Amino acid sequence: MSKTKVQEKTEQPELPPTEETPQAPVCSVDAEAIKSSCLAVEMSPKQVDKLIKVVFPRCLQAGEFLLEEGHQDDTLYVVTEGQLEVVKATGGGEWMTLQSLQPGDMVGVLGFFEGGGHSATIRATADCKLFGLRRKTFERMLKRWPNLDYKITRAIIHNLHEIISRMNMQYVEMTNYINKQHGRY
């Protein structure tokens, strides 16, 4: 596969950029990153090419929010570069980190399937590149390429299984810690 890049479509000003009107940087995700992602692991090369055509890139700088708690978004994101954290506001401007996300992790799975408000906020801890797939696009693909949607759904379920396994392990570790401390923190 060639070094194709998926580029974010940004509106260009009618006039050439000047010092007063800087041109926004173009965000792109390398096609190889999509091909090697958890979403494409079971796909044939032709199916990966179809996936590349329907996803879009999203780039974040450290400190930027991808998703905010309570907001609705029907997009599934896959991290290809950088790190993010799942955080909850604890009051007084403080944040509690619930989970760290790295390349290969999916973000926004429940919003993608259910469309409800997000249960936590996702913030970049380093510059990040992700690619996204919108639910409406996924639903249109179901009619044209049902086998492709099936493989995407399997990848999402596999990713959720990994998350649940990690959470179970963290629960066991936390329980062991509390038991060894006789309930004292």
pLDDT at 55: 95
Q: Report pLDDT for 4.
A: 52
Q: What single letter denotes the amino acid at residue 163?
A: I
- Full 3-state SS string of 7-37: ECCCCCCCCCCCCCCCCCCCCEEEHHHHHCC
Q: Which amino acid is present at 169?
A: M
Q: Residue-wise pLDDT tens for the chain (185 aa)? A: 445 555 544 333 333 333 443 444 578 888 999 999 999 999 999 999 999 999 999 999 999 999 998 898 899 999 999 999 999 988 888 888 888 898 989 999 888 988 888 889 999 999 999 999 999 999 998 888 888 889 999 999 988 888 888 878 888 888 888 888 766 65
The dihedral built from the CA positions of residue 147, 105, 52 and 131, taken in this order, carries a sign that is positive
- pTM score of the predicted model: 0.77
Give the pLDDT score at 127.
Answer: 96
Q: Which domains does the chain have, with CATH numbers?
A: 28-177 (2.60.120.10)
- The neighbour count for residue 174, using CB atoms within 10 Å, is 10
Inter-axis angle of helices 45-54 and 135-144, to 10 degrees? 140
Q: Give the per-residue pLDDT at 26.
A: 73
Q: What is the pLDDT of residue 13?
A: 31
Place of tokens 């890139």: 57
- The per-residue DSSP string of 124-171 comes to ESS-EEEEEEEHHHHHHHHHH-HHHHHHHHHHHHHHHHHHHHHHHHHH
pLDDT score at 162 = 84
